[in-house]
């Protein structure tokens, strides 16, 4: 969890990305640039004989068969494969589609992180709503460049409960739910 890690490897090298989470009955799913990697379902993912196609943002979502409402998100890792072509390097940092990710941690106590992705520069509004649909805070309301973005929210002045956060960017909009426990 936390800020992304930048990892640079040379073409042809291998890279092991892993995370450690306590508990039992955990299920893992790795993603690259927001897209599920079907065969990557362990606590570690290995890139073998890397090419520039492997450049991108990787993260793991951890669910549990007992605590089904809880999803943990591993710290994102930005992988850049150096194959000598700078154009590929720049393209790897731009997502292919809009995405709003589940906040982490969730449930959270006081502070949480919200990640979102923009394929193009756009006017962005990211707001938090209470259970009745009343907007309680706007976290982002400005033009943002294409790329991966992260916002922290400190909810310590609010009562525990369920909140919703909505991302609007151009014609795209979506909502996710989060749980705050004091």
36/71 same-domain check: yes
Q: For the chain, what is the domain count?
A: 2
Shared domain for 17 and 70, answered yes or no, is yes
Q: What is the value of pTM for the model shown?
A: 0.53
C-alpha 87/C-alpha 85 separation (Å) is 6
Indicate the DSSP class of residue 54: G
Q: In terms of Cα–Cα distance, which of 101, 98, 90, 10 is closest to 56?
A: 90
Do 81 and 122 lie in one domain? The reply is: no
Looking at residue 66, its pLDDT comes to 84
pLDDT at 158: 94
Cα(124)–Cα(144) distance, integer angstroms: 6
Spans of the chain below 70 pLDDT: 1-5, 83-93
Would residue 56 be called left, alpha or beta, if left means φ above 0 and alpha means ψ between -120 and 50 degrees?
Answer: left
Domain that holds residue 76: 5-91
Task: Judge contact between 90 and 104, C-beta under 8 A.
Answer: no
Residues 124 and 66 in one domain: no
109: domain CATH number is: 2.60.40.1930
Q: Last residue of some domain: 91, 121, 146? A: 91
């Amino acid at each position: 969890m936390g800020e992304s890690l930048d990892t640079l490897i040379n073409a042809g090298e291998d890279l092991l990305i892993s995370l450690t989470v306590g508990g039992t009955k955990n299920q893992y799913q790795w993603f690259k640039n927001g897209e599920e990697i079907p065969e990557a379902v362990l606590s570690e993912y290995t890139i073998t004989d890397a090419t520039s196609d492997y450049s991108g943002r990787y993260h793991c979502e951890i669910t549990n068969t007992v605590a089904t409402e809880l999803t943990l998100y591993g710290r994102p890792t930005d992988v850049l494969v150096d194959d000598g072509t700078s154009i590929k390097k720049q393209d790897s940092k731009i997502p292919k589609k809009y995405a709003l990710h589940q906040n982490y941690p969730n449930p959270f106590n006081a502070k949480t992180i919200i990640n979102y992705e923009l394929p193009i520069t756009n006017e962005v509004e990211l707001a938090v709503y209470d259970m009745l649909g009343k907007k309680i805070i706007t976290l982002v309301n400005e033009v943002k460049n294409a790329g991966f973005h992260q916002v922290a929210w400190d909810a310590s002045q609010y009562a525990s409960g369920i909140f919703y956060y909505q991302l609007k960017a151009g014609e795209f909009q979506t909502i996710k739910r989060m749980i705050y426990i004091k």
